Amino acid sequence: MAIQDIKVPDIGDYTDVPIIEIHVQAGDKIQVEDPLITVESDKASMDVPAPAAGTVKEVRVKLGDTVSEGSTILMLEAEGAGEGDSPSAPAPSPAEEAGNRPPPSAAPSSSAPPTGQIADFSRVHASPSARRLARELEVDLPRVPPTGLKGRVTQEDIRSFAKGGAPAAASASTGAPTAGGGLDLLPWPKVDFSKFGPVETQPLSRIKKISGANLHRNWVQIPHVTNHDEADITDLEAFRVQFNKANEKAGIKVSMLAFMIKAAVASLKQFPEFNASLDGDNLILKQYYHIGFAADTPNGLVVPVIRDADQKGVAEIAQEMGALAKLARDGKLKPDQMQGGCFTISSLGGIGGLYFTPIINAPEVAIMGVCRSYWKQVSPDGKQSEWRFVLPLSLSWDHRVIDGAAAARFNVHFANLLADMRRIIM
């Protein structure tokens, strides 16, 4: 057996790209196309696949190193094609895959095994891009029925499995229940719209492809219930405007969403079942407070995460939100900046509307939706009316974990905190 020097292949015009993941270590046995490292440019992340099978003798790189075409990754003791090897079509280069790969999602699939138990993918016949997609959707790749040539698991197989659908080759003929519980849905209607008038076909963005699969799974598999309420933010809005004016020269600007993140943390502490995730028959109660917020980008919504929001002030949260939102708009968010969320806030305040039903960002168990604040005439004592500035709240929750009374109390508590933020320090 010969020792091979495994180098970074042609990755396009990228140079000095950082390594964000290392998938192998000395002693590992690898197969052709197994991912060795993942690198990330300013536009996309990409796997570098193994060009040969064998045993890893030495890894020559570490996390954070920068590499270019020709950089040495590892030393491989190569071996000839074994009995278990199956021929496959040439894999696309990492550069070719980079333009088509969707960004990672914070929402794991219910088809995935518990954290840390995703099976060994090395025995699965799949391309690096398919393996990457399986990791992004947290799909247990060995459980995905293959439909590709010579038993290859395709990206479409993985997306279908994540959505709870049957594989294309087996859905109609076997009558077997699907991964989503055997919904037995009618096929999607096929229509030639050009028969009725002019049309234009536009491909979905990468973000919409990946988020669409997650949203479909979450909506079908989570029993959503939504409670609507409103918060009186008259005093808080006056304080926010005053604070921003006083700190204008320092470049500090606080949005209402930053206050909502602090209110969410305090509410999660008061109602710990909202800061949880289902794991089979167990409820995982989290002792940390990472809050996601939906950010609008030219390619669709993404959810950056403010980590350890309980340890940060409102101004610090506002600055971090601004930085993450800019990265999201520029397509430069890193995977770890969209992972680990406990609770999400989706704000349409800058656009309009009153109420809506936000879809829960699994494996979270609740999400808060807010719309545009408006002035409302109220009569607190039933006698004299006054105008108050109110914020519409829409709390969607997982009925498997939370009941209606707890949801109502959470909404009321959240609204009371926004009405008087001094409650947070009590």
Q: Pick the catalytic residue: 125, 216, 290, 399?
A: 399
Other C-beta atoms closer than 10 Å to the C-beta of 283 total: 14
Any catalytic annotation for residue 399? yes
Can you give the chain as a three-state secondary structure string?
Answer: CCEEEEECCCCCCCCCEEEEEECCCCCCEECCCCEEEEEECCCCEEEEECCCCEEEEEECCCCCCEECCCCEEEEEEECCCCCCCCCCCCCCCHHHHHCCCCCCCCCCCCCCCCCCCCCCHHHCCECHHHHHHHHHHCCCHHHCCCCCHHHCECHHHHHHHHCCCCCCCCHHHHCCCCCCCCCCCCCCCCCCHHHCCCCCCCCCCHHHHHHHHHHHHHHHHCCEEEEEEEEECHHHHHHHHHHHHHCCCCCCCCCHHHHHHHHHHHHHHHCHHHCEEEECCEEEECCCCCEEECEEECCEEECCEECCHHHCCHHHHHHHHHHHHHHHHCCCCCHHHHCCCCEEEEECCCCCCCCCCCCCCCCCCEEEEECCCEEEEECCCCCCCEEEEEEEEEEEEECCCCCHHHHHHHHHHHHHHHHCHHHHHC
Q: Which residues are catalytic?
A: 399
